[in-house]
Amino acid sequence: MNTKKENDILEITLSIAESGYAEAYRFLAEAYENDAGNFGPQTLYFLACLAGGAGMPQKALAWIRKAVADNGWWYRPEVLEDDDLELLKDNAEFIALKAVSGGRYVDAAAKTKEVFSWERKKADKLFLAVHGNTQNGQTARNDWETLLDGNSQWQIETIQSAEPDGYGTYRWSYDMVSYQSVARALKRIQSEGYGQIVCGGFSAGCDMLLRTVLFTPARCDRLILQSPWIPIMQDDAVRVIDAVGKKGIALNIFCGSEDADCLPMAEQLYTLAAKNGLNARLDIQKGIRHQFPDGPSALMDLMRGM
């Protein structure tokens, strides 16, 4: 499954939905029907919510049925309580499907453990990629490996959260526990003799990296933050900047101009970093929402020039 393509189409769908759910539903349904193999649980959930929000409860139910009953997928219980599914709340089949999905989630949550892909040193430089929510380690590898363009000097490794988000995907919590998976991964490779260690995060993965830098002795040479969703800055902005500065970590921040939620956070982080004399840069990606850019970009130039 091409998760990059799926994520980009979902971002387009969200943009269309700002003007109307019905049009967004038609767009996504057509994309799915044309290439169903490249779409996973998140797309079917989007379709269900769009249908529900557009006043089409039977179509919404059909997508949930397809995901849970036909495909064997599941979702976190909270997401099936979405307001867009309000028209289904008393539907007996929907209630039964939620129960099945919830049971699978409980089973997964009891068994899931963090997964660090690193086994041994294979190159002079290490790149640690941290996924965002509703993603997984393979998503992170695919996104960042493409940008490294096969540079043999770099060994790319991933850390996958121990918290399931949905079928095949994982999430991070903004607390004092979740980030420790990232901290353990970074600590493990600190003394392996790498000439350079760079960490890259997407969305919530950026928050986990900043927490790791702030709350643990672990360090790296550079942080590359794409579409940073970083609630750590709400209460600990000054301490984050201080920790990054004291550890001498270069900071590269990238965010889409249309990413309304994350752009203010990216700008806050950069402004404070620059004010305090850190080696920091912010690149605003024109026309991009909450996603990696396609094709040539400042991010690609940075990655291939390292």
For the chain, the farthest-separated pair of C-alpha atoms sits apart, in whole angstroms, at: 60
Stretch 127-134: mean pLDDT, rounded? 98
Render pLDDT for 253-279 as a digit per residue (tens, 0 to 9). 999 999 999 999 999 999 999 999 999
Residues 6+ apart with CB under 8 A from 26: none
Domain 115-305 has CATH 3.40.50.1820: yes
Q: Could you tell me the pTM of the whole model?
A: 0.95
Render pLDDT for 26-76 as a digit per residue (tens, 0 to 9). 999 999 999 999 999 999 999 999 999 999 999 999 999 999 999 999 999
- Domain extent listing, the chain: 3-111, 115-305
Render pLDDT for 219-248 as a digit per residue (tens, 0 to 9). 999 999 999 999 999 999 999 999 999 999
Picking from 240, 234, 189, the residue whose alpha carbon sits closest to that of residue 211 is: 240
